[in-house]
Chains A and B, each alone.
Chain A
Amino acid sequence: MARVEDSAGVRSDKLSEERLRDLFREMLLIRRFEEKVEERFRAGELPGFLHVALGEEAVAAGVCAALQPDDVIASTHRAHHHTIAKGTHVNAVMAELYGKVEGCSGGYGGSMHLYDVEKGNLGANAVVGGGLAGIVGAALAFKLKGEQRVAVAFFGDGATNSGAFHESMNLAQLWRVPAVFVLENNGWAESTPASQHLPLPVDELAKRAVAYGMTAIEADGQDVEDVYAGAREAREHAASGKGPVLLHVRTYRLTGHYVGDPQVYRDKQELRELWETQDPIEKLRERLGIAQEQFDAIDAEVTAEVDASVELAQNGTDRKPEDALNWVYAEGSLAPDA
């Protein structure tokens, strides 16, 4: 972790070994979940458009570990890892992918619109950059109400080329709202590499914060401790009234853009090498010195959890077609005496 701006800020604490092991389990749970999603999609069981986060598990786990339960997030089309890390049970996520009543969005959202408002997940957004301005508004509401909460937007390097990103960064900094912009930079805008969509070197994207006078913090997205430390500092900065932060997390998408993507645009050798050198789960396993036997035990546990989520989802409750109209409008009035 390093700050782009000079800072007196020091990591106030590090994750305990026990917390790190929890995060290891969570990251492996996400990994097995995503692999299962690919498998069930290929089996023809999952409708829709799916994006998995193989390789980006530490970003979600590290950021969400640094948040308070009542902090809120907005996610992206690649949302499973954020949603699980923010506290939604895999059963509810899997059920959503099957379009069931038990899903975290009740079957109305699907993979690209995972919501869990009780857990602070304000929704995954299928429009690149679509969730950023809403996070500015949520943060503004916290500020106006005097609440010590922080609003967090996840988005990728592709989103930083959208007007939504720039308008949101500008407004957030202007009003010094408690927001954290988590730039989950995997170097790909779908099939277009950073070299074709960024005029800056891919590792220097945090410079975009400088234009707005916004504090930027860098973190290594394959190192969950570093992500956590960066996110923790970003959260503290935002919550203390100093204004928003751009948390630039460099990461790697060790899979296609979507499930089924043949990745014709990608160098297969390079991808193999990334798997060997940039797998965040392997890195943490080495860091913690988790022996094969221990690993297998944890793996068996999370695999069973994922398998159970599939079984529950397969046997979940189907929506009635006409349920489509249930939530088009909210009823009633918000008038004080209503």
Chain B
Amino acid sequence: MPELTYREAVRDGLAEVMRGDDRVFLMGEDIAEMGGSMGVTQGLLDEFGAERVRNTPISEMAIVGAGIGAAMQGMLPVIEIMYEDFLTLSMEQLVNQAAKHRTMSGGQLQVPLTIRTQGGAGWSPGAQHAQQLESWFVHVPGLKVVFASTPEDVRGLLWSSIYDPNPVVFFEHRTLYPIKGEVPDELQPIPLGRARVQREGSDVTVVATGRLVHEALRAAEEAEQDGISVEVVDPRTLSPLDAEAIVESVKKTTRCVTAHEAVVQGGFGAELAAVVQHGAFDYLDAPIERVGARFAPLPFAPVMEDWCIPDAADVLEAVRRTVARA
């Protein structure tokens, strides 16, 4: 199997779909000649031309709205929002329009729109270039939410998101772009709504998303030295959630830690904890632990940033707390 970086995997997924389907086109700020501020769309302008790789003004609301309108007319637009912090500028269109047209029209319309965006801390961007806002969108009926953590997953899930007849908010993590991973020779679509067990274990389940999947895997290796067997489950799609896979894992391990880079309060971990306690209540041997960022707008100075955002050590501590209870 070939190896691709996460960045290359996204690009490869986009190119693959665009080669075979004229309905698909890209819109976003600086995505054409520059290839996107993260370099994801480099080369796509040359291959597909300016009609299908469209640089836009700095108008997140209009870009998303235009995507909605084009999607309702049978196109399959893929929008890049440069930083997920800037999704806030398009919230009206995403939440009031994209998510609701289908229901408000009594099923007459569908909005097959994909919004790719990225975020994540660890490079001292300060408070407005690194937020993790995925849980906001999980709260909105009508939207689907994807957060992939590996090259294989990001490519396969992107394909499924583009061809999903619903609006999908597709989160990528900035610090994952350079990571490498094996991918199938041919793009294998990965259906939305299915979790992946990234590592099997028997004592504690860590349900992790995005960068924290990798931190959880590191924590699991360390825990193993102490004789603690950690299972790492990546939901990959946050909405709809593969609750069954997560609950089954916790029934097996009897302990659960949730882990994401977003702040803990009101974070996706809260939803996971509710699902797990309801589905596996009689199996739990310890309170569910939640790992996430401190509840503060992310400060600039590296020493404060580093203290705010979670890493493998935080996951490991949480794992140890759950085991200590039994």
Contact = CB atoms under 8 A, between A and B. Distances in A.
Instruction: Answer yes or no: do A and B interact.
Output: yes
Interface of A: 72, 103, 105-109, 113, 115-118, 122-123, 125, 127, 130-142, 144-145, 151, 163-164, 167-168, 170-171, 174-175, 326-336, 338
B324 interface: no
B313 interface: no
Contacts of A151: 69
Nearest to B191: A333
10 contacts: A109-B105, A113-B105, A117-B109, A133-B69, A134-B66, A136-B66, A144-B51, A167-B61, A170-B59, A333-B160
Nearest to A149: B73
Contact of A137 (B23, B70, B189): B70
B267 interface: no
Given A117-B109, A328-B103, A137 B165 contact: no
Given A115-B108, A328-B103, A334-B76, A144 B61 contact: no
B74 A327 contact: no
A174 B165 contact: no
A133 B165 contact: no
The listed residue with most A CB atoms (<10 A of its CB), out of B61, B69, B107, B141, is B69
Contacts of A170: 57, 59, 62
Given A115-B109, A130-B93, A164-B92, 16 more contacts: A105-B105, A109-B106, A117-B109, A123-B104, A130-B92, A133-B68, A138-B72, A139-B69, A141-B75, A170-B62, A171-B62, A175-B54, A327-B103, A328-B142, A330-B110, A332-B165
Contacts of B59: 167, 170-171
Contact of B73 (A106, A142, A338): A142
B104 A138 contact: no
A168 B65 contact: yes
Interface stretch (B94-102, B177-185, B274-282, B289-297): B94-102
Nearest to A140: B70
A134 B63 CA distance: 9
Nearest to A147: B73
Given A132-B65, A171-B66, A115 B106 contact: yes
A139 B70 CA distance: 8
Contact of B69 (A103, A113, A136, A333): A136
A140 B65 contact: no
B112 to A, nearest CB: 5
Nearest to A141: B73
A115 B96 CA distance: 15
Contact of A108 (B57, B74, B103, B166): B103
Nearest to B240: A329
B242 interface: no
A171 B104 CA distance: 26
Contacts of B69: 122, 133-141, 151
A140 B66 contact: yes
Interface in B171-218: 189
Contacts of A328: 102-103, 141-142
Contacts of B120: none
A108 B164 contact: no
B67 interface: yes
A6 B51 CA distance: 31
**Which 7 pairs, one residue from A and one from B, show the smallest C-beta to C-beta distance?**
A133-B65, A137-B69, A106-B106, A167-B62, A137-B66, A141-B73, A330-B165
A4 to B, nearest CB: 23
Contacts of B23: 334
Contacts of A136: 62, 65-66, 69
B57 A174 contact: yes
Contacts of B56: 171
Contact of A117 (B61, B62, B108): B108
B8 to A, nearest CB: 22
Contact of B74 (A123, A141, A331): A141
A330 B102 contact: yes
A336 B68 contact: no
Contacts of B147: none
B65 A134 contact: yes
Contact of A333 (B77, B97, B105, B163): B163
Nearest to A106: B106
Contacts of A144: 25, 51, 70, 75
Contacts of B133: none
A168 B59 CA distance: 9
Contacts of A168: 62, 65
A115 to B, nearest CB: 4
The listed residue with most A CB atoms (<10 A of its CB), out of B20, B25, B97, B103, is B103
A178 B144 CA distance: 31
A214 B59 CA distance: 18
Interface in B76-100: 76-77, 92-93, 96-97
A338 B102 contact: no
A217 to B, nearest CB: 22
Nearest to A135: B69
A167 B65 CA distance: 10
Nearest to A133: B65
A108 B106 contact: yes
B197 to A, nearest CB: 25
Contacts of B92: 127, 130, 164
Given A133-B69, A138-B72, A115 B64 contact: no
Nearest to B61: A167
The listed residue with most A CB atoms (<10 A of its CB), out of B59, B73, B92, is B73
Interface in B92-142: 92-93, 96-97, 101-110, 112, 141-142
B71 interface: yes
A331 B165 contact: yes
The listed residue with most B CB atoms (<10 A of its CB), out of A115, A174, A333, A336, is A333
B20 A336 contact: yes
A122 B102 CA distance: 11
A106 B71 CA distance: 22
A29 to B, nearest CB: 24
A330 B66 contact: no
